[in-house]
Chain A
Amino acid sequence: EPEVTQTPSHQVTQMGQEVILRCVPISNHLYFYWYRQILGQKVEFLVSFYNNEISEKSEIFDDQFSVERPDGSNFTLKIRSTKLEDSAMYFCASNRGPPRDEQFFGPGTRLTVL
């Protein structure tokens, strides 16, 4: 069964460093998403991406964040200058559409900022 994959599973970085989190969505899916979950808190929407552009973003998704689909398979989340409060589990998700239907989630990347 096709699944969303994410790499790395765990990333440790120093404050101020750039990180790139990688995702491979399910191959025939058209809509892509990033969510994050700070330890002990709820899963929060960051951004959605369709047709090679951002379709929605939350207040969390400020200028420090960017997303890209550099080729036909990868979907990346970049944090330019990490802060301590960026430490969280980051989930990638995708769906085929319509956009309101179920989203398929990856296993997540745990980001630790020291």
Chain B
Amino acid sequence: AQSVTQLGSHVSVSEGALVLLRCNYSSSVPPYLFWYVQYPNQGLQLLLKYTTGATLVKGINGFEAEFKKSETSFHLTKPSAHMSDAAEYFCAVSDTGNSGYSTLTFGKGTMLLVSP
């Protein structure tokens, strides 16, 4: 069984400050990991993903995440927050179900608040 834990339901930063959103996962197979962002009244948009290979992955809007197998973590960072980054962020792990097909398991989400 797979699971995702996101520490902190809300994270507040000032514009220009470092953004760090934490994600820990468990998976019975080598994980595929994703960060999605949800702006108000919109669907889930992929920020970045890790499948295999380089453990530091870069995504859209200046975000990046590092896969650390030893820590079972996939934290999301951005060096300098913009007001437009205010949204809800979801970490997800893709595992293989009983039939061999994929299921996505999400964390509870972290609301990022950016103040001027």
Give residues in A with beta carbon < 8 Å to B: 4, 6, 31, 33, 35, 41-45, 48, 50, 55-56, 58, 91, 93, 98-108
Q: Does B44 contact A (CB under 8 A)?
A: yes
B residues touching A (Cβ–Cβ < 8 Å)? 32, 34, 36, 41-46, 49, 51, 90, 92, 94-99, 101-109
Extra 13 A-B pairs, beta carbons < 8 Å, given A56-B101, A101-B51: A41-B108, A45-B105, A48-B97, A48-B103, A55-B97, A55-B99, A55-B101, A98-B102, A100-B95, A104-B46, A105-B43, A107-B41, A107-B43
A-B contact pairs, 25 of them (CB 8 A): A31-B101, A31-B102, A41-B108, A42-B90, A42-B106, A42-B108, A42-B109, A43-B106, A44-B106, A48-B97, A48-B101, A48-B102, A50-B101, A55-B99, A56-B101, A91-B43, A91-B44, A99-B101, A100-B96, A101-B49, A102-B34, A103-B104, A104-B46, A105-B36, A108-B43
Alpha-carbon distance A58/B102, docked complex (angstroms): 12
Residue of A35, A58, A102, A107 near B49 (CB, 8 A) is A102
Residue of B nearest to A108 (CB): B43
Asked if A105 meets B99 with Cβ closer than 8 Å, knowing A42-B107, A44-B106, the reply is: no
